[in-house]
Structure 1
Amino acid sequence: MNQNVRNHRFRKGIAGLGALATAAAGLFVGTAGATADTTEPVDPQLAVYVEVNSNDLANVADYTLAESGEAAIDMAMIFAANINYDGEKAYLHFNERVTETLENAQTQIRPVQAKGTKVLLSVLGNHQGAGFANFSSFEEADAFAAQLEDAVDTYGLDGIDFDDEWTEYGANGTPQPNAQSFGWLATALRDRLGPDKIISLYAIGPTYTTTDFSLFDAAGVLDYAWNPYYPTYDAPTVPGLDDRGRLGAAAIDLSNTSAATAADFAERTVADGYGVYVAYNLTATDQSAYLSGITEALKGESTVYRAAPGDTTPPTVTIKSGAKYTKGDAEDGYKRISFGLHDEGQIDRLYVNGVLKDLTDDRWSDLNFVKSGAFGAVKGENTLQVLDVAGNTTEVSFVLTK
């Protein structure tokens, strides 16, 4: 299974041939079919697949938007669990690395979710004949849906992604695909998960090409359907799921698609009103420069990698000692007073009684020889406010006697 999981998406050369063959078979798999316009502005979602056989899902949490600090990635797919066959029925299988990812949810999944990213389990065929498109009854489909529900509940996941590849329908005496199977499965899963979990369709294989989507409430059951071929821009057609805000036309491989193509697809996604942009193979390396070309178009912000925590420490303000700088004391008041200023995040500016004094941004600064008539100071009570570049403020009150 591992070899297939690693290699099955590197089909750039045959993707176009697959699309042509599909069209020749009378199936409309393309942007032209997704013609409905959304009535509300679309907030495009960046959906990323992580090959957990070789990368940690937790890497997703390393990417945030530069200005808002929000998650750069909206949906992260654990790639991949499998639908297997035991000789009688389909069952959900986790390989060793998927198992580790799920069982170590506190370090692999929760940090990603804490950033605001939804985590889905992607489920893939495994050469054994069991697939999403060949259940013979609703009861069979519901039995598998129950296993998916258990995975979502047990590991605190946000949904399920269906990817019908490498199934080999007919193997081990399994049935061929039929038009109703996926509708049964998706409907059963939605009934079990309720309305708040995500169900997405990686639009490939008989689950996409054989299913009669008019036989079930596709719009009420599925949240998203997206293009599976990297690197192409070609939205799937799912009858009933006509809202472009729930479709993805752009599909890129983060390791093999040029940054220029990725950015162009993002601009087209926004211009065309599609709601999902799909990227495959987020690794442990810093891919923020590449992702910035996508997020700047989708979200109006660049992406940063492992951003430092925001500065929340206010400046330090001390009164300089010695008659050269300061005469008087806090109890009796000052004839003149001087201050030393320090902030690791750099001092930016200060105000004396609301009068601005702009400073050169630096870790160390001074305000010397403050007396009545200087820097906005007056005889009597005064207020000094010192701000660092992050906007943190320290306020000091002092009294001048003359």
Structure 2
Amino acid sequence: MFGKSALLAVGLMAFFGVGEASARNVVFLNNPSPQDVKDVGKYLVSGTGQPFFSDLVLFAANINGSTPNTPVLYYNAEMSAILKDNLSIVRGLQAQGIKVQISYLGNHQNAGWSCNMSSAAATKLANAMVADVVKYGLDGISVDDEYSQCSGNAKAFYSVLKAIRANSKFAGKTLSKALWSDSSYFRSPSNAADYLTEGYEMTYAGSVSYLAPYVGYGMSKNALFLGISPQFSPASSVRSIAQDVEDDGYQGVMIWAPNAFLDTASASAYYTQIVKAQAGEAESVEYVP
């Protein structure tokens, strides 16, 4: 026989639902094939039938240039195959509710996010990114400030972010950042937290403590994701990591390049460990061809 408190608990579970994860999960695909992209929408949570992933980041387009003031956007063969030849796959994911961002990355040249460029060059670069996001119907831009011959200019970095957010055609879209060894960009008077909608911590050490500094910089917990890579964190450890993320109130996890390390069966098993931490022991993730 149920007491009043037990009946109340049962009523609350019926009202709010059981086994529904509030977490979101992001996947980065490194130079993906069209099939890799299509597969993102095939990993479904068994209890809801909804996609396991809320967001896909296509990694990566590049910022090329011989001088900081003349940056040019470049799309390699893999990115071109998705955006120019198989855009219908992206539309299919979006129809499932999965947002698709594109990452822009330096390319071992004298141009990039934080090169010493003029304000005009920063605005031109930002507007070129936004124009392509609109052209391809994507949902956002992910910042990866690496692999440029020039870097570290905070003023230029802020100028690019500010111009992206100021562009009216970018309204409602995501501006995310790969977070790693970047504390200098989260200081007054210009703080990257003022421009970013979310961030993905990419140390891949498996510790939720790496997210805490970004809360101190002004980012909310529901904008932060802890990076996990199958290369460094085996399936036996990811449930514990995801549980720490859940217990500390962060938004979810970001999984780096599973297309490089996992086949569909092992990926399903890997994601199942994560969703059990997020939504309960009964949940699993299935690959549905």
Q: TM-score, normalised by structure 2?
A: 0.81
Same amino acid, percent of matched pairs = 28
Name the structure 2 match of 1:71: 51
Q: 1:196 to 1:93 in 2, by over 3 A?
A: same
- Cα deviation digits, residues 279-311 of structure 1 (max 9, x gap): 11132533111101112222443211016xxxx
Choose from 163, 166, 179 the match for 1:188: 163
Q: CA deviation at 1:105?
A: 4.2
**Residue 147 in structure 1 maps to residue 128 in structure 2:** yes
Q: Secondary structure at the match of 1:111?
A: helix
Which is greater in Rg? 1
Name the structure 2 match of 1:278: 254
Name the structure 1 match of 2:16: none
Choose from 117, 126, 130 the match for 1:136: 117
Q: Verify the 8 A CA contact 1:102 1:155 in the aligned structure 2.
A: yes
Choose from 1, 25, 29 the match for 1:50: 29
Name the structure 1 match of 2:104: 123
Q: Verify the 8 A CA contact 1:164 1:204 in the aligned structure 2.
A: no
Q: Secondary structure at the match of 1:78?
A: strand
Q: 1:147 to 1:281 in 2, by over 3 A?
A: same
**Residue 177 in structure 1 maps to residue 177 in structure 2:** no
Name the structure 1 match of 2:60: 80
The 2-side partners of 1:212 and 1:70 are apart by 35
**Counterparts of 1:84-123 in structure 2 under 5 Å?**
84-87=64-67, 88-123=69-104
Choose from 241, 261, 266 the match for 2:242: 266
More strand by share: 1
**Counterparts of 1:160-175 in structure 2 under 5 Å?**
160-169=141-150
The 2-side partners of 1:257 and 1:115 are apart by 28
Aligned residues: 257
Name the structure 2 match of 1:223: 197
Q: CA deviation at 1:196?
A: 1.0
**Residue 232 in structure 1 maps to residue 206 in structure 2:** yes
Q: CA deviation at 1:209?
A: 4.0
Unaligned runs of 5+ in 1: 1-41, 170-175, 308-402
The 2-side partners of 1:67 and 1:101 are apart by 31
Q: 1:106 to 1:131 in 2, by over 3 A?
A: closer
Judge which range, 143-152 or 81-90, deviates more: 81-90
Q: Secondary structure at the match of 1:161?
A: strand
Q: Verify the 8 A CA contact 1:226 1:236 in the aligned structure 2.
A: no
The 2-side partners of 1:241 and 1:75 are apart by 23
Q: CA deviation at 1:129?
A: 2.6
Q: CA deviation at 1:240?
A: 4.5
Choose from 164, 178, 181 the match for 1:202: 178
Q: Secondary structure at the match of 2:41?
A: helix
The 2-side partners of 1:43 and 1:181 are apart by 36
Q: CA deviation at 1:219?
A: 4.4
Q: 1:213 to 1:43 in 2, by over 3 A?
A: farther
Q: Secondary structure at the match of 1:200?
A: strand
Q: Verify the 8 A CA contact 1:138 1:184 in the aligned structure 2.
A: yes
The 2-side partners of 1:275 and 1:293 are apart by 17
Q: CA deviation at 1:64?
A: 1.1
Q: CA deviation at 1:263?
A: 1.0
Unaligned runs of 5+ in 2: 1-20
**Residue 244 in structure 1 maps to residue 221 in structure 2:** yes
Aligned Cα RMSD in Å?
Answer: 2.2
